[in-house]
A = this chain, B = another copy of it.
Amino acid sequence: LEKRVTIAEVARAAGVSKTTVSVVLNGGADALGIRPETQSQVLDAATSLGYTPNYAARMLRRGRTGTLTMLVQALANPFFVDMAVAARGAAEARGYELVVVDAGPLDAEVRALEHLRGGRTDGVVVATGRHHSRRPAVERLIELVDHGMPAVVLIDKSPDDRVPAIRPDVYGGSLEAMRHLVGLGHRRIAHIAMQGAEELESAPSSQGDRYRAYVDALTEAGIELDRRWLVRGPDTSAGGRGAMHDLLGVRPRPTAVFVYNDLTAIGVLRACAEAGVRVPDEVAVVSFDGIELGGFMTPALTTVENPGVDMGRRAIQTLFDLMAGQPPSEIDRVLPARLLVRESCGARAATAAGTTGR
């Protein structure tokens, strides 16, 4: 870029030294007792020259960047967008910028974390989940933490004692959802889980929590699990559509399905519509996340509210605590996740109710 104005030019224009300019512009003038007239000379010169401090120079000198970084699983899911927007607001309120990175596939997440080693951020929030099956990413995160980088993990448990985790009570929320279906009289309840290599039974992840709640609720109700009720697919609308398409072929047909997340459930609704299967009359649907869009489906999705906005804000707060040298008050903070009953579960009238639910 052309002819940037430097502090030296401001100093010359104001007839003072670079030191004075720097002090005045950084607000330390009164403390150091710089004469008001000198201050205005500097301010005037800076304004008329259109001076803006050079980011790289300041960053190099201060050893801080004024930037935080958040890695999210997928911006294609509005749940993560809402979380990121909330986090950005919290960061900006304290004068920090938040760079949001769509981590995408594993190698992209690894690359993104490696990228952060060069000192381009003051702290990192990792909201990508699925860490048990993503060892290389976790290793990179630990590497950063070893070098003193403040870090917070969202969604899943923390992989390291120095990294506080803030996560929803996925097990509790899922159990509430399942008990709701059981309470409505359902006995053949299917589960659409996220695709992945791991064994759901033992997975120390939020998808494992969903599965365990699913199994426990069936057991509690004295229902024997039919393996055909368990389908896995990508956590996208297309994935949900495909999974539900398969599930609709099972006989006797499940009368209810607990779906990984809302985005996936939107595909489930579509698959039912295409097959002429009425929701919730023939199949009840309950999912997870509570994205706004779910309330605009017909029937509106009954879902477990995932506190993404709250997690985003808390993550930034915790990051600032860590940067200030304060140990985190809690290493594993679990936030409640409650069932939001709308229409797709059949507990309410499915249409013409005028109730979007939120």
A residues sitting closer than 8 Å to B (CB atoms) are 1-4, 52-60, 63, 65, 75-76, 78, 81-82, 84-85, 88, 97, 99-100, 102, 115, 117-120, 147-149, 237-238, 241, 266-267, 269-270, 273-276, 292-293, 295-298, 300, 351-354, 356
Contact = CB atoms under 8 A, between A and B. Distances in A.
A56 to B, nearest CB: 4
Contacts of A353: 274
> How many copies of this protein are present in the complex?
2
A31 to B, nearest CB: 24
A68 to B, nearest CB: 12
A53 B270 contact: no
A169 to B, nearest CB: 26
A295 B269 CA distance: 12
B85 A75 contact: yes
Contacts of A292: 237-238
Given A2-B147, A56-B65, A273 B293 contact: no
11 contacts: A3-B147, A53-B118, A54-B118, A56-B57, A56-B60, A75-B84, A97-B115, A273-B298, A274-B354, A293-B293, A298-B298
A274 B357 CA distance: 12
